[in-house]
Chains A and B, each alone.
Chain A
Amino acid sequence: MRWLDVFVMAFQAIIRNKLRSFLTTLGIIIGVGSVVAMVHLGQSATRSVTDEIASIGSNLLFVMPGTAQRGPGGVRTSAEPFELDDVEAIAQEVPDILVAPAITVSPTVVIGNANETIPVIGTDNNYFAVRNHRIAYGRAFDPDELNAGSAVCIIGTTLIDEMYLGQEPLGTTLRVGRTACRVIGVLEEKGQSMGQDRDKIILMPVKAVQRRLLGSLDVQTIYVSALIDGSTGRVQKDIESLLRQRRHIASPKDDDFYVRDTQDIANALASTTNTMTILLGAIAAVSLLVGGIGIMNIMLVSVTERTREIGIRLAIGARTRDVLTQFLVESIALSTLGGIIGLVLGIGGTWLVTSRLDMPFLLAPGVMLLGFFFSVAIGIIFGFFPARKAARLNPIDALRHE
């Protein structure tokens, strides 16, 4: 028997029962499709987290009041907020760093007829370097504006697109809460990240936000950027001991603030996504197994149904291995076909999801190959038993089968 004829025979059998073949292979399609999609999505998620952290600014530390552990129900346990003095103290006492305060409020912003709730961050000129978010055009705050808390602002590009409808914003006045605020600069476009539009933002001098929007002298977050690579550990320790001193925390007591390294956050997120990927991948692999059992089931039915055909083939001179090969190739063709369709759907699905969520679309050839060979292997493993059953039939019994 020629291999070409074996393959032709298998495909003819598959085509003869189109619906059944499709339903049989559906398990493999779903199995391979979901394995491929899960692993690809996991990879994209991990990459997007890594990219994210890089774009936030590497060597970045967040300093916040409260404790790192989140209490049940509450967000943070109450602790003394920071003030601008703390920011200044850190800037002076800890070497080789850049410090920027941040106060975030979300007032209603009105531009012409458009109004929307937009995050407003009160900060100073260090923000651009520390958060790696530069000014595209216009200018930064001048020292007088920072000292006086003037009503000036630097806006993100989303505001231009959505509220200015593409009009030139520089020099115009928009309303932030109850304050009329002059636009002096526009930030570079940063894009979406983790479902958040990072261009939907307004920067104002820290004192302007404290006085005009917040009504207190609190500083919610202090951003610290270590200027020397790999020095974040040292900087973190320096800040911790400085703040303990300033906040009069004696030695056995825990900090009532915390310093968080972006690298820590990146690692935590990456390990979470990895775990999720493995878990979902494992579930998908189980569905692949179920798909294989589906193939075995239908092949067994098919062998019973085609007993007479097998008898005819044996009578006209088919050997055990001819029949075995025929049915084995049929099941391998079914599962491989399913594998290929699943692969295409899995990658297509990944592309769809990543393009919607603005995540990077990465192909993993290893996973694709693995999915393909897995589907072939399933055809062999789950096709062997039915094929052997067919090949071992007694020619007379098979011919008499009704």
Chain B
Amino acid sequence: MSSSARLRNDDPETPDLPPAIIRMRNIFKIYGSGSAEVRALDGVDLTIRDGEFVAIMGPSGSGKSTCMNMIGCLDVPSAGEYLFRGVNVGGLDRDELALLRRHFMGFIFQSFNLLPRVNALANVELPLIYDGVRRSERRARAQEALRIVGLAGRESATPSQLSGGQQQRVAIARALVTEPPILLADEPTGNLDTAMADGIMSQLVQIRAERGITIIMVTHEPDIARYAERVLYFVDGKLVKDGIPAEVLS
């Protein structure tokens, strides 16, 4: 499994489209049982192709975050089939899922989730440590990632010394430092004011344009969703709308 290997589209029905990297077939996520049963995901079918920028929307409790965790291999479905780049994720164990996340996915969270009391550079280096990258190379790559998000010179600042927008940029640098093909963002602007939020979104758009990565983003703000090319709208664990932002958000 190498993140740099490009997929070929071997789907005869859609030969002109980019290959599908995520295919979900009839996915269920069920908590509890009997009368207390909650269907966080209730039979979701979904295909996301390489290079897409997808926003996942829906009211709270609609299953959008659950779907995101499922895509990010942080959670496994109760039933259904999830093929990630053709690999059935349902057959992987905990550590194999971890390796999948390490090599193919970068995560950004609403609350940034940086390690407190550790400086920006060390936070960005963290994924490379697990990849066994040497210290000198790690340094260089982390510095480069921080430069890309416009934080050159703030390497030694700890999260508490940075603004929310800057913290989220560190998180983006951390997500991108391993050069994953997919970026997963869970409410990336949820804790930021409008100006900062727009800054972060333009950053993501720019990175996608430069690297051709796939971005999947959960948000409840239509303004933010408009940055995406495609919007998935969830209600009660079901995918009810799927289309370009103008259609879905109208």
Contacts and interface: CB of A to CB of B under 8 A. Distances in A.
Interface stretch (B78-86, B123-131, B193-201, B224-232): B123-131
B69 A396 contact: yes
Contacts of B115: 309, 312
A2 interface: yes
B249 interface: no
Contacts of B103: 317
Q: Which of A16, A311, A316 has the most CB of B within 10 A?
A: A316
- Chain A interface, DSSP helix/strand/loop, else mixed: helix
B74 A396 contact: yes
A5 B133 CA distance: 10
A319 interface: yes
A5 B129 contact: yes
A330 to B, nearest CB: 15
Interface stretch (B41-49, B52-60, B93-101, B236-244): B93-101
A320 interface: yes
Nearest to B127: A316
Contact of B113 (A5, A312, A317, A320): A312
B110 to A, nearest CB: 11
A315 B130 contact: no
B117 interface: yes
Contacts of A399: 74, 109, 113
Nearest to A16: B117
Interface residues of B, number: 27
Contacts, number: 63
Given A5-B129, A322-B130, A396-B75, A315 B99 contact: no
B233 interface: no
A395 interface: yes
A141 B99 CA distance: 94
A1 B134 CA distance: 10
A311 B72 CA distance: 13
Interface in A364-399: 395-396, 399
Contacts of A308: 113
Given A312-B113, A396-B69, A396-B75, A317 B95 contact: no
Given A2-B132, A312-B115, A313-B126, A319 B95 contact: yes
A397 to B, nearest CB: 10
A314 interface: yes
Interface residues of A, number: 23
Contact of B99 (A5, A311, A313, A319): A319
Contacts of A396: 69, 74-75
Contacts of B23: none
B117 A317 contact: no
Interface in A263-316: 308-309, 311-316
A322 B134 CA distance: 17
A396 B113 CA distance: 12
A316 B69 contact: no
A247 interface: no
B174 interface: yes
Interface string B112-149: 01110100000000110111101100000000000000
Contacts of A174: none
B57 to A, nearest CB: 20
Interface string A1-21: 110110001000000100000
B129 to A, nearest CB: 5
A318 B74 contact: no
A315 B74 contact: yes
A308 B114 CA distance: 10
Contacts of B102: 316-318
B28 interface: no
Interface of B: 69, 72, 74-75, 94-95, 98-99, 101-103, 107, 109, 113-115, 117, 126-127, 129-132, 134-135, 174, 178
9 contacts: A2-B132, A5-B135, A16-B117, A313-B126, A315-B101, A316-B126, A317-B130, A395-B74, A399-B109
**Nearest 8 interchain pairs by C-beta:** A317-B102, A319-B95, A316-B127, A319-B98, A395-B74, A317-B101, A5-B129, A312-B113
Interface of A: 1-2, 4-5, 9, 16, 308-309, 311-322, 395-396, 399
Given A315-B113, A322-B130, 16 more contacts: A1-B132, A2-B132, A311-B113, A312-B114, A315-B101, A316-B102, A316-B127, A316-B130, A317-B101, A317-B103, A317-B130, A317-B131, A317-B178, A318-B102, A319-B98, A320-B95
